[in-house]
Amino acid sequence: MIESNVENLLKEIPKENPFGEKVTLVAAVKLQNAEDINRAVAAGITDIGDNHVQELRDKYELINGNPRRHFIGHLQTNKIKYLLGKVDLYHSVDRINLAEELSKKSAGAGIVSDILIQINIGNEETKGGFALEDCGEIYKTIKRLPALRIKGLMAMLPIDNDETRLKTLAKSMRGQFDRLRAIDKDIEYLSMGMSGDWRICLEQGANIIRLGTAIFGARNYNKN
């Protein structure tokens, strides 16, 4: 099941988005055990994304094949120390004080951390991230931090059956991404698209999608 899901997705997901950029599939592995994650990696998954620090730590040594590591969940500043040097790209920088702490801790470790700025594209109370209209200012503020490298933007579209609205939101993310890319050569990634909406997101110019359910099936929040 996991193997065939991965195989079918790798066939279906285009290698490039309509802008000619390489598309990266990140497996969202929250609540999945190491064995299932290893099955996905063996089937061709090259990138995995964790939401929870504790889960990442528990499973870190158990994952084979050395996939690239993404952190995609809400991050508390007091947990940063457990991730330093383990995460290739932080998608979910959603507060200035998180950016400041991540820069400080990265500097202390002698590294520069690659990050995405999370945008709350649907202005949802339940989601983290900055308002799209504040993105320019936020970018300038974070850009001053010495031990972070801003690589792009991340967003989660709202749950909505209105495809036209989702397209409009995804398109406005791409617009902001293009404005930053025009002034900063480090800007490279637009991380947007989950199991329910990745086709729309790719069409509108995402180049990283994050899929959980489409790979592993429905998550069981009661196991462990």
Ligand X SMILES: *Cc1c(COP(=O)(O)O)cnc(C)c1O
Q: Which residue is nearest to ligand X (CB)?
A: 212
List the interface residues with ligand X, window 7-36 (CB under 6 A): 28, 30
List the interface residues with ligand X, window 165-194 (CB under 6 A). Answer: 194
**Residues binding ligand X: what is the number (CB under 6 A)?**
14
Consecutive H or E run containing 117? strand 113-119
Torsion of CA 141, 143, 148, 154, to 10 degrees: 80
Single out the residue of 60, 128, 195, 199 in contact with ligand X (rule: CB under 6 A): 195
Binding residues for ligand X restricted to 41-70, rule: CB under 6 A: 51
Using DSSP, state whether 111 is helix, strand or coil. Answer: coil
User: At 132, is the secondary structure helix, strand, or coil?
Assistant: helix
Angle between helices 2-12 and 34-42 (to 10 degrees): 40
If binding is defined by CB under 6 A, does position 39 make contact with ligand X? no
Report which of 53, 137, 128 is spatially closest to residue 87, judged by C-alpha positions. 53
> Of 150 and 201, which has the nearer Cβ to ligand X?
201
The least distance separating ligand X from the CB of residue 185, rounded to whole angstroms, comes to: 26
Kindly state the smallest distance separating residue 200's Cβ from ligand X, in Å.
13
Residues 180 and 139: beta-carbon distance below 8 Å:
yes
Smallest gap from residue 222 Cβ to ligand X (A) = 16
Measured in whole angstroms, the distance separating CA 78 from the mean position of its chain's CA atoms is: 20
Q: Which of residues 113-152 bind ligand X (CB under 6 A)?
A: none
Q: Which amino acid is at 108?
A: G
Contact residues for ligand X (CB under 6 A)? Answer: 28, 30, 51, 72-73, 156, 194-196, 210-214
